[in-house]
Amino acid sequence: MKKIYLAVVAILLSQMVYPQGSVTGTLADADTKKPLYLSTVTVYNAADTSIITYRLSDKAANFKIPGLPLHTALRALITFSGYEV
């Protein structure tokens, strides 16, 4: 029981020491207002353009990106390849 208690305390302390942010949103076409499902949302570190994480939007074009570092300059790139030529 002590090991479980210590593990829970360690997890809670790590969350306080390394705070994290998240970004949520809904993606839609600016002209047609149709949802852009299965779009890729990629988050980069602005300083060196290294990829931090990426997610796909769901069928309702909603996305959530948890676990982003706070006090760090970030850039997001959203791509969608569902249009026909």
What distance in Å separates the CA atoms of residue 25 and residue 39, rounded to the nearest whole number?
Answer: 12
What distance in Å separates the CA atoms of residue 56 and residue 40, rounded to the nearest whole number?
Answer: 5
Q: How many CA atoms lie within 13 A of 54 on its CB side?
A: 12
pLDDT for the residue numbered 19: 60
pLDDT for the residue numbered 82: 79
Local confidence pLDDT in tens for the 85 residues of the chain: 555 656 665 665 555 555 678 899 999 988 888 899 999 999 999 999 899 999 999 999 999 999 888 888 999 999 998 777 6
